[in-house]
Structure 1
Amino acid sequence: MLDVAIIGGGPAGLTAGLYTTRGGAKEVVMFERGMPGGQITGSSEIENYPGVKEVLSGFDFMQPWQEQCFRFGLKSMQKDVMRISRLKNYFVIHTDKETFEAKSVIVATGGSPKRSGVKGEDQFYGRGISTCATCDGFFYKGEEVAVLGGGDTAIEEALFLSELCKKVTVLHRRDEFRAAPVTLQKAKAKANIEFLTPVLLDEILGDAKGVNGILYKYKDSQEQQKLEVNGLFIFVGYSVNNQILKQEDGSFLCEMTDAGEVKVDLNMNTNVPGLFAAGDIRIQAAKQVVCAAGDGARAALSALAYLEHHM
């Protein structure tokens, strides 16, 4: 039986593996569909991780993590976990071909921003299209950008970008916004934030250098217009990868929010003893690499304490 099963091989999962093995857990296995690293490996540039002064691609940034995190005995299995269930005082990890038993489980399966499906999105993703203003806003300092979306994240990120960019244009398909009224009021008070509603994004334009404009149209008149921008930030929702927590009867193994995020306390404990969640899957996740790594360390320490006192 495994001491700790870690589901997910991104920054949270790898850090959890490092801290559990270095902390004395003997049988620790990290389950990941592909090579460890997580979705951050698809980022073009990482420059805001403390202590790393070089600007690296996500792939290059995550390379040394693997060597360090496997140094103390962490094992990796490239298996597709279908479900986690609980029997008495232990857990069962159901993969596509076999099952594993574990005394404790750290879920770090993360999530991913929803795509808009607009023409040109795939072509320019990472080359002028971003889903994280905190990560990429600096690259557009003094330039004009657009934000797609009308929820809290979209408006909050527009406010963040307004401190860096010359102009921020917010495009939303409705006149009404889902963002908190106080946040929306702050954004509308900013001189360099413009709102275009109700509009639909038709196409993202660009060249070999990246995005240089967008085509949009008003829903009522269907009149198409072009907006010249150097970057587009898309915030049309976020999907957490929580499928493995869903049980055969359709319920979830632990307590979740309405948005499907795992409810945890400050120590990454769920309401199920021995089950922990870290990174973007958990409630109120900051969706930053450094925060995910911190979650992984905290979950690992909690798992070690659980093994010591309950097993």
Structure 2
Amino acid sequence: MENVIIIGSGPAGLTAAIYTARANLNPMVFEGYQYGGQLMTTTEIENFPGFEEGIQGPDLMSGMREQAKRFQARLVQKDVESVNLSQLPFQVVVDGETYETKTLIIATGANAKMLGLPSEKRLIGRGVSTCATCDGFFYREKEIAMVGGGDSAMEEAIFLTKFASKVSIIHRRDQLRASKIMQERALKNPKIAFVWNSVVEDVLGAEKVEGVRLRNVKTNEVSALRCDGFFLAIGHAPNTALFEGQLELDEQKYIITKPKSTATSVPGVFAAGDVQDSKYRQAITAAGTGCMAALETERYLEAQE
């Protein structure tokens, strides 16, 4: 019987592991076959406090992992196959083996939606980005192409104009999904241009992004757009398939947590990081909620005893 099982090994999961381990709860962490979450595909992180010169994403996650191990957190590089939250103890199935636990911290994160192009995958962190607030700073006086048409895309494009000399928004239709106010702000911004009725067919560049190849969906005309960075703002997909029908999720399938808490709709189950946060999606906020989940888990177990 485990005191706590943590699913996920990004900043939220590993922070929860550090705190629960230091509280002598002897946590078991199922990291997944690829530990470290989204930061494993991020190159330079300049906005995580404490690293004056910045730090590489994989280095930050490796440091967090070693810190969790130092306090005897048990890290298991395997994927969770299923969970049963309908009874106590909760059951977590990994590699056909069932583990029982008094509490569960879910930190399975979210994945940015991408177009599915091989070149996009190859150039992630080398000009392809899914996070304007993380990477905008690197594009001072440079030109950026962006795909998206919703509120968050307009918000990110406007943010990028603080740095970039030009932001070209590529949209497959001739009108945006974004709210009227966000559309107006983007359309009025002199640094933002729109490429309507177009889709990205390829990201150009060998070692770094040098442009994108576009196809007009009405005329089938193919053209190239030169840019130094290519940003995707077509949404995120939280990793919550394991919990559908067992936990309360919102319309976008993010786990709903109680206000000022990481508690979910099932007592003893807590959620931290991007799996419950569609708004901020930063390493530092994920780590913060990982800490919250650990402290709430500790208090919950004390109350049960």
Question: TM bucket by the smaller chain?
Answer: over 0.9
Map 1:74-113; keep pairs closer than 5 Å: 74-113=73-112
Letter in 2 for 1:225: S
After TM superposition, give the deviation of residue 41 of structure 1 in Å. Answer: 1.6
Distance 1:119 1:90, change over 3 A: closer
In the other structure, the counterpart of 1:8 is 8
In the other structure, the counterpart of 1:260 is 253
In the other structure, the counterpart of 1:58 is 57
In the other structure, the counterpart of 1:307 is 301
Letter in 1 for 2:33: G
Q: Partners of 2:217 and 2:118 in 1: how far apart?
A: 17
| Conserved 8 A contact 2:211-2:225 | yes
Deviations 1:78-105 (A, max 9, x none): 2221122135432111122200111100
TM-score calculated relative to the size of structure 2? 0.95
| Conserved 8 A contact 1:7-1:31 | yes
For 1:70, what is the secondary structure of its paired residue?
A: helix
After TM superposition, give the deviation of residue 300 of structure 1 in Å. Answer: 0.7
Deviations 1:12-34 (A, max 9, x none): 00000111121232x31001223
After TM superposition, give the deviation of residue 285 of structure 1 in Å. Answer: 4.3
| Conserved 8 A contact 2:48-2:54 | no
Give ranges in structure 2 of 5+ residues lacking alignment: none
Q: Partners of 2:273 and 2:251 in 1: how far apart?
A: 18
TM-score calculated relative to the size of structure 1? 0.93
Deviates more, 1:181-190 or 1:115-124: 115-124
CA RMSD of aligned residues (A): 1.5
| Conserved 8 A contact 1:36-1:66 | no
Count of aligned residue pairs for this structure pair: 304
In the other structure, the counterpart of 2:284 is 290
Map 1:127-166; keep pairs closer than 5 Å: 127-166=126-165
Letter in 2 for 1:215: R
Q: Partners of 1:258 and 1:303 in 2: how far apart?
A: 26
After TM superposition, give the deviation of residue 38 of structure 1 in Å. Answer: 2.0
| Conserved 8 A contact 1:149-1:236 | yes
Give ranges in structure 1 of 5+ residues lacking alignment: 247-251
| Conserved 8 A contact 1:83-1:243 | no
After TM superposition, give the deviation of residue 273 of structure 1 in Å. Answer: 0.3
- 4+ residue segments displaced more than 3 Å: none
Q: Partners of 2:71 and 2:285 in 1: how far apart?
A: 22
Q: Partners of 1:169 and 1:86 in 2: how far apart?
A: 46
Q: Partners of 1:259 and 1:185 in 2: how far apart?
A: 25
Q: Partners of 1:196 and 1:12 in 2: how far apart?
A: 37
For 2:255, what is the secondary structure of its paired residue?
A: coil
